[in-house]
A and B are shown apart, each in its own frame.
Chain A
Amino acid sequence: MSRQEIYAWCSMGFVLSVLILYTIFSFGFPSILENHYEAVIKGLVFIILVAVATEFTIDYLGSVKYGVHKDERDMQIEATAFKVGYYSVMVFLNILIGHLIINAFFGTHAGEAAFLTSRETLLHVVIYMLFLGGLMKSGTQVFLYRRGG
């Protein structure tokens, strides 16, 4: 596994863990896992700490020019992954804007639709959008590294 592949795995673990923690603190812990609350939180925090430590180590090795930090294949994979992440965010954003425009023009008829346009929900949606964009980026990197190209 190359350094950049390890970095991509860490990045994916970090974003996924933060996303799950954000969901738990925003919407509450699922009642089905109530008995494992502490273990789940500790596990997620552990993943975040390991990911951050590994990313710092890889960055440090790159800054002192120890070994190959990033070669042309890594850069090509990163560029493709950035493109996928960017397009994902743009798709989510367009869906959200379309939804808001439709609501503004035609109004809301159901309570559920009104909930989707509340400021608090919109903030959650935007934050999820950014997390998902990051997740798509690191997920694409991991997929391309695993595929070999």
Chain B
Amino acid sequence: MDRIKIGNHIRRLRFMHGEMTQQELADETGVSRQTINALEASKYSPSLELAFRIANAFGVSVEEVFFLEVDAGL
């Protein structure tokens, strides 16, 4: 069975936004720096609300931040 993971471009978007730090993004979205770190490493899938808040912080749409990764190996 294919396993679906949610990937993201948060790291790239942070650097494109004046090398924003994880802490700055965390402060802007109201979560801890550790949560941003877990998101970037694709170890945690955010709620829809957090996904929108992150997209808003970068001024882009949700699809430009998050995408589906299908792991066919499972």
B17 CB-CB contact with A under 8 Å: no
- One of A21-29, A35-43, A69-77, A134-142 contacting the partner: A69-77
Structural contact, B44 and A5, CB atoms closer than 8 A? no
Chain A count of residues within 8 A CB distance of the other chain:
14
Structural contact, A68 and B44, CB atoms closer than 8 A? no
Structural contact, B31 and A149, CB atoms closer than 8 A? no
Q: Within the assembled complex, what's the spacing in Å between the Cα atoms of A58 and B51?
A: 27
CB < 8 Å neighbour of B44 from A2, A4, A73: A73
Interface string of B25-51 (1 = CB under 8 A from A): 010001111110110010110110110
CB < 8 Å neighbour of B32 from A68, A147, A149: A68
A111 CB-CB contact with B under 8 Å: no
A148 CB-CB contact with B under 8 Å: yes
Given known A71-B30, A72-B47, contact A148–B35 (CB-CB < 8 A) = no
B residues in contact (CB < 8 Å) with A: 26, 30-35, 37-38, 41, 43-44, 46-47, 49-50
The 9 closest A-B pairs by CB, nearest first: A148-B43, A71-B31, A149-B43, A2-B34, A73-B35, A2-B32, A68-B32, A149-B44, A148-B38
